[in-house]
Amino acid sequence: MTHSTGAAGDAVLLLRLAGPLQSWGLRSSFNRRETNAEPTKSGVLGLLAAAAGLAREDPLDDLIPLRLGVRVDQAGTLLRDYHTVSDYRGRPLLQSGVNAKGVQRPTSPVKHTHVTVRYYLQDAVFVAAVAGPRALVTTLDHAVRSPAFPLALGRRSCPPTQPVSLGVHEGDLAAVLKALPWQASRAARDRYVRRARSGGRDGSRQAPPAGIDLPATVEDPAGDDVLHDAPTSFDPRARAFTDRRVRHCWLHVPTGFPSTGFPSTGSPSTGFPPAGDAEPGAPDDGTAHDPFALLGW
């Protein structure tokens, strides 16, 4: 298996994509909005375009060549959201098609309510690695930290928790993703430690492993899988996508736990900092603010 490597002068921007809800559309229809199991390239580039202040009609010449890797730190669970749509004036709903004059006709038989289903990922955490020219990647890092437009995890109704940017790093996609410590939520890490505390078959207490295996998808010209999620235009009147090749792998990632014994600082139950402290990767200068900290994220 071959591994793609960054060109000289390239750098990697790491993004922590976490929030109560995420939705990364790959195949959707008018009344059924599905979500991919992990962030799509169109979704990640859309977030970067919003941060940089690009309009939907603007060309994506700088963003298209960027290479993407995604690590699944916390898979989350699937949420099915039930919707109904109706006309507030009480009128019958119109058909999606139009007649020869371009006018929508009323539904037949008359329909006043339409059912739509939308899917989300809840309690998921991903790390996205975006590789490209250092100057561009550094500019995008500044943009994510001070975005021109609100950032969203696939859909506008899905805001991210902070921090989103984990900084600019050296190395290729897989190496950078492998080096970054586990970014799962505090609640997930608490459960991980409690399972270790429960002991082995002989009843002894086991120390939390220093590493954990996480699945990842890395963009690779020699990859054995093809995804149709690389955008060439976000223009609502001319949205277009193309294929990209990827490889799927497992990365052994540091957990941040000590290699022997149990964590001895922080909360008595797990050794993590008390709820409300910054998530991994957040600045520790007292300026970090996480509005979801009280929810146990």
pLDDT tens for the chain, 297 residues: list them: 333 444 557 999 999 999 999 999 876 666 778 889 999 999 999 999 999 999 999 999 999 999 999 999 999 999 998 888 888 888 888 877 777 887 888 888 888 888 888 899 999 999 999 999 999 999 999 999 999 999 999 999 999 998 999 999 999 999 999 999 999 998 898 888 887 777 656 556 667 788 899 999 999 999 999 999 999 999 988 889 999 999 999 999 999 886 555 554 344 333 333 333 444 444 444 444 555 555 555
**Biggest alpha carbon–alpha carbon distance for the chain:** 78
Predicted model pTM: 0.78
Q: How many CB atoms lie within 10 A of CB 71?
A: 27
Q: What is the DSSP letter of 280?
A: T
Q: Which of 196, 193, 210, 227 is CA-nearest to residue 67?
A: 227
Torsion sign over Cα 271, 277, 278, 283: negative
Question: What is the model's pLDDT at position 199?
Answer: 60
Distances (CA, A) of 156 to 21, 55, 128, 162: 11, 15, 19, 16
Q: pLDDT value at position 296?
A: 54
The owner of tokens 């996508």 is 241
Q: 32: closest CA among 93, 95, 85, 109?
A: 85
Domains of the chain (ranges; CATH) run: 10-84+106-183+212-254 (3.30.70.2660)
Provide the sign of the torsion angle of the four alpha carbons 182, 66, 75, 213, taken in this order. Answer: negative
Q: According to the model, what pLDDT value does residue 266 have? A: 41
Alpha carbons within 13 A on the beta-carbon side of 244: 20
Predicted confidence at residue 221, as pLDDT, reads 94
